Chain A
Amino acid sequence: MKRYIDKGAKVVDGPRSPVQNRPWTLKEKLLLGFTPKEYLGQAVRNPLNWVAALILLVGLPVILSRFYFGLGFVTHASNDYPWGLFLGFGLFSMVPLSASGFLLGTTVEVFGRHDFEPIERLALLNGLLGYLFAVVYLLADLGQPWRLPYPMVVSWGPAAVLFLVGWHVATYLSVQMAEVSASFFEWQGWPRAKAFIRRIALGLTTAGIILSTLHQGALGALFTYAPGKVHPLWYSEEFQWIFFFCSSIPAGLCMVIVASTIVKKTMAWRCDARFLENLDRITLGLAKGAAMGLVTYATIKLIGLAHDNEWGYLASGFGTLFLAEMTFGVFIPISLFAYAVRHKIVAMARFGALLTVLGIVFNRLNTALFTFNWKLYPELPHIGETIIVVTVFTIYLLVYRFLLYRLPILYQWKAELVPVDEAVPAPKLVKESKTPVGEVTA
C-alpha cells in the first residue's frame, strides 16, 4: 500500500476521484482506488495475509466439522465443564474488550469531550466488531445455534440473567450498527441517512450506556449461579457484577489504545493527519481513564476479598495465580499509566494498555475456565476448540482491517460541495489536515 502511495497513487478518501474528476465507482471504492492488479499485488506481498491464509486453511475445515459432527468432535464434551474456550474467551473476554464503543461514545457525545473525537469512530467500530464476533463465538458454542432467537421469540425465561444478556447484546448490537453506519453512509454517499444517525446519536449513546452497564455486569452475575464452582478468589456474591462492569472500563479503553497502536504501526497511510497528530495526546488521555478504572477495580477487589475474608486462599496455588493476574493485569499497568501520564511517555502507556488487555482476558479465563470447578479438576481446552477460537479471531482481524481500509474511521471523508438538487445540507467541508482539536467532524 505504502509503496503505491509513495509513488503518488491516490487512495479513496472522498466521493470523487481527484485525478479523473468524477465520482468513484463502487468497485473503485472497494479497491481503494487501485486497479485490481495493484490491489492483489499488495495483498500478496503482505506476509500477514499468508499467515492468515494458513490459519484459515487449517481452521475452516475444523469449524465445518464442528457443525457437521457436533460439539463433541471439537471439545472434550465435558458435562463438568459445560463452558469452554468459546465462551471463556469469545464471550466473557470479547465483550469487556468491546466496551470501547460505549465509553468513547459517552465521553464525546454525553460529556462533550470533543477532543477525543478523532478516535471515537475507531472505538465504535472496535465495539461493534467485538460484539459481533462474541455472537459468532456464541454460535459456535450453542448446541443448537439455529435456535439463537428462541429467547426473543419462542420462549421467555425472564427469571434468568442470561435472558438479560441475550436481549441486551442483541439490542446493543443494533445500536452499535446504527452508530457505525454513519461512516458507512458517508462512504456510500448517503448524506440524509448519515444526518439522521447524527441526530439520534445522543439517544443511541445513552441507550448504549444503559445496556452496557447492565450486560457487562450481567456477565459477572452469571457466575453467581455457580457459587461453589468458581474459586472464592474470583467469586463474590455481592460484587461479582461490579467486578465485571468495573473492569470492562479499563478493558475497553485499553483495547482502543492497542488497536490504535497497531493501526498507527501497520496502516499509517490510511490515517489522516488529524488522527495521527492527536493520537499521542488521546492515548495519554485514555491511559488516564484506564488507570482510574483500574484503581477503582483494584479497590473493589480488595473490598471483596476482605468482605468474604478470603485472605487464606492467597497462600494456595490459586492464590499465586490470583496475585499474578492482579500484578500483571492491574498493579503494573496502574504504575505504568501513572508514570506515562506524568512524564508523557506514550510508548509506556501503550505497553500498559497491552498488559491490561491481556490481564482482563486472563481474568475472564481464570473465572470461567482455569479455576472453575476448583474442587474437581482443571480443564485444558481441546485442540479443536483452540483452533476454532484462533480461526474466528483471525477472521475478526481480517474484517476489522477490511473496514478500516475503506470506511472513514481513521480519516475524514472529504466532503463534496452541495449539489443543487440536494435537499439536505451536505456535511461541512473539512480541511484535510491540521484540523484543530474539536473542529467539526460530523
Chain B
Amino acid sequence: MGGISRRRFLEFGAAAVATTVATSKRSHATPNFEGYPEGMGVLVDLTKCIGCRSCEAACNKEHGLPKPEKPFDDLSVFDERGHSGQMRRPDETRYTVVNRYEPTQGGAPVYRKIQCNHCNEPACLTSCFVNAYTKTKEGAVVYNPEVCVGCRMCMTACPFYVPGYSYSSATNPVIVKCNFCYDKRLVNGLPPACVEICPQEALLFGHREELIAIGKARIKAEPDRYIDHIYGEEEVGGTSWMYISSEPFEELGFDTTLQKKPIISNVMGFLGMVPMVLAIWPALFTGFHLLAKKKGGEDGHDSERGEGE
C-alpha cells in the first residue's frame, strides 16, 4: 500500500518536474554577458544640449507617431507637469522627451533627453514571460508586439520608467518604447534619427566601448566642467545610452541609487532554489507521509484504505 502510493506519488512528482523543467533550465541559461562587444551606443553630453526638441520631432517623424498637441518648437512643454508634479515621460505617443531642470545651485537650466537606455542586461527582457524583447548584437533592445500578452511586467521592471502602454486601445494594446531605430537605421550601421538631427552634437553615436573612453577623456580634459561619472556605464549592469553632466545627476531626475549589478541578478537566488524544491520536496514529503502512516496505527483510518472496503 505504501509502495503503491509512493509510486503514484513519484509519477506525480515527475509530472510536476516536467512542467517546470523549462523554468529550472533557465537558471543555467542566464544571459550573463556584459553586452555585445560590437554593441553600439549613444553618449549624451548634457552640457551641450540646448533643449531645442529637434530630436523629439525627428523621432516623431521617423516612427510616424501621432502629431502632438503643441508643435515641437513650442518650449512651454517644459513647464508641463503631470501627476504630482511629474515631468513629461515617454508614452504611447512619444518614444523620447526632453525635460528642463533648474540646478539648485543656480546657473543655466539643464536639458535632459529621456528614451530607452537599451540596457546590456535589460530588466524588461529578463522579466517578460513570453520573451517579447530581444537585445540585438548592435545593442538595441527591441520589442515584438505579436507575442505580448500585456501583463506589463516589463514596465514594472524597467528601472528607468521607459516602456509605455497604449491603454487607449481595446483590441490591440501594446508596449511602446524607443527601439534605437533598429530596423531602418541601426542594422545598416546608421545612427538613430534623433542623433542625426541634433544641431549641438549633444548626442554622440558609436561603439559603446569607445563612447566610454570618449566620455572619460572629456571628463579628464575638463574636470571642472564635468561630474566625474558616466551615468549608464555601470548602472544596472550598464546601458547602451549613457550620459555625462555638469550638474549632479540626482538633480536632473536620474535615479542615482540604482544597483550596479543587473536587475536579473536579484531573482537568481529564487530561481536557483527552484530545482532544489523540485528535487528535494517529493522525497521529503513522501518521507513525512510514510512516517505519519507508520505511527498512524492509532487511528487506522487512512481515507485511502476506506475507499477499498
CB distance from A25 to the nearest CB of B (A): 27
A112 touches B289 (CB 8 A): yes
Q: Does B3 count as interface, using CB distance less than 8 angstroms?
A: no
Q: Does B204 count as interface, using CB distance less than 8 angstroms?
A: no
Which of A80, A144, A217 is within 8 Å of B173, CB to CB?
A144
A167 touches B308 (CB 8 A): no
Q: Which residue of A lies closest to B18 (CB)?
A: A171
B5 touches A158 (CB 8 A): no
B163 touches A79 (CB 8 A): yes
B267 touches A225 (CB 8 A): yes
Which of B12, B23, B165 is within 8 Å of A164, CB to CB?
B23
Interface stretch among B44-52, B194-202, B237-245, B280-288?
Answer: B280-288
B266 touches A158 (CB 8 A): no
Chain A contacts with B in 208-260, Cβ cutoff 8 A: 209-211, 213-214, 217-218, 220-222, 224-229, 237-238, 240-241
Q: Which residue of B lies closest to A113 (CB)?
A: B292
Q: Does A387 count as interface, using CB distance less than 8 angstroms?
A: no
CB distance from A360 to the nearest CB of B (A): 20
Interface stretch among B102-110, B217-225, B271-279?
Answer: B271-279
Q: Does A428 count as interface, using CB distance less than 8 angstroms?
A: yes
Encode A92-111 as 1/0 by CB contact (under 8 A) with B.
00000000000000101111
Tell me, in angstroms, the Cα distance from A397 to B11 when the chains sit together: 35
CB distance from A194 to the nearest CB of B (A): 9
CB distance from A140 to the nearest CB of B (A): 11
Q: Does A32 count as interface, using CB distance less than 8 angstroms?
A: no
> Given A117-B303, A229-B156, A199–B267 Cβ distance below 8 Å?
no
Q: Does A376 count as interface, using CB distance less than 8 angstroms?
A: yes
A163 touches B12 (CB 8 A): no
CB distance from A199 to the nearest CB of B (A): 7
B30 touches A214 (CB 8 A): no
Interface size class on chain A is 35 or more
B130 touches A157 (CB 8 A): yes
Encode A143-159 as 1/0 by CB contact (under 8 A) with B.
11101101100111111
Classify the secondary structure of B's interface with A: helix
Identify the interface centre among A150, A199, A210: most chain B CB within 10 Å of its CB: A210
B309 touches A159 (CB 8 A): no
Tell me, in angstroms, the Cα distance from A376 to B89 when the chains sit together: 13
Encode B33-71 as 1/0 by CB contact (under 8 A) with A.
000000000000000000000000000000000000000
Interface stretch among B111-119, B147-155, B184-192, B226-234?
Answer: B147-155
Tell me, in angstroms, the Cα distance from A80 to B302 when the chains sit together: 54
Q: Does A40 count as interface, using CB distance less than 8 angstroms?
A: no
Q: Does A419 count as interface, using CB distance less than 8 angstroms?
A: no
Chain A contacts with B in 47-104, Cβ cutoff 8 A: 67-73, 75, 77-80, 82-83
Which of B168, B258, B281, B304 is within 8 Å of A228, CB to CB?
B258
Encode B70-91 as 1/0 by CB contact (under 8 A) with A.
0000000000000111100111
* Cβ contacts under 8 Å, A402 to chain B: none
* Cβ contacts under 8 Å, B128 to chain A: 157, 160, 162
Tell me, in angstroms, the Cα distance from A341 to B18 when the chains sit together: 42
* Cβ contacts under 8 Å, A156 to chain B: 22, 130-131
* Cβ contacts under 8 Å, A158 to chain B: 22-23, 25-26, 29
> Given A206-B286, A221-B270, A163–B149 Cβ distance below 8 Å?
no
CB distance from B12 to the nearest CB of A (A): 3
Interface stretch among A2-10, A15-23, A434-442?
Answer: A434-442
Classify the secondary structure of A's interface with B: helix
Identify the interface centre among B5, B29, B263, B270: most chain A CB within 10 Å of its CB: B270
A144 touches B172 (CB 8 A): yes
B173 touches A161 (CB 8 A): no
> Given A71-B167, A428-B306, A217–B270 Cβ distance below 8 Å?
yes
Q: Does A203 count as interface, using CB distance less than 8 angstroms?
A: yes
B149 touches A79 (CB 8 A): no
Tell me, in angstroms, the Cα distance from A48 to B55 when the chains sit together: 60
* Cβ contacts under 8 Å, B288 to chain A: 110-111
Which of A114, A206, A238, A241 is within 8 Å of B301, CB to CB?
A114
13 A–B contacts from the bound complex (CB under 8 Å): A70-B169, A79-B155, A144-B150, A150-B130, A154-B147, A157-B128, A157-B132, A164-B271, A202-B289, A206-B16, A227-B159, A229-B156, A237-B266
Which residue numbers of B lie inside 8 Å of A, CB to CB?
5, 8-9, 11-13, 15-16, 19-20, 22-23, 25-26, 29-31, 83-86, 89-91, 123, 125-132, 147-153, 155-157, 159, 161, 163-165, 167-174, 255, 257-259, 263-264, 266-267, 269-271, 273-274, 277-278, 281-282, 285-286, 288-289, 292-293, 296, 299, 301-309
Among all A-B residue pairs, the 6 with the closest Cβ atoms: A143-B150, A203-B12, A440-B306, A377-B84, A112-B292, A72-B167
Which residue numbers of A lie inside 8 Å of B, CB to CB?
67-73, 75, 77-80, 82-83, 106, 108-115, 117, 141-145, 147-148, 150-151, 154-168, 171, 195, 198-204, 206-207, 209-211, 213-214, 217-218, 220-222, 224-229, 237-238, 240-241, 375-377, 425, 427-428, 438-442
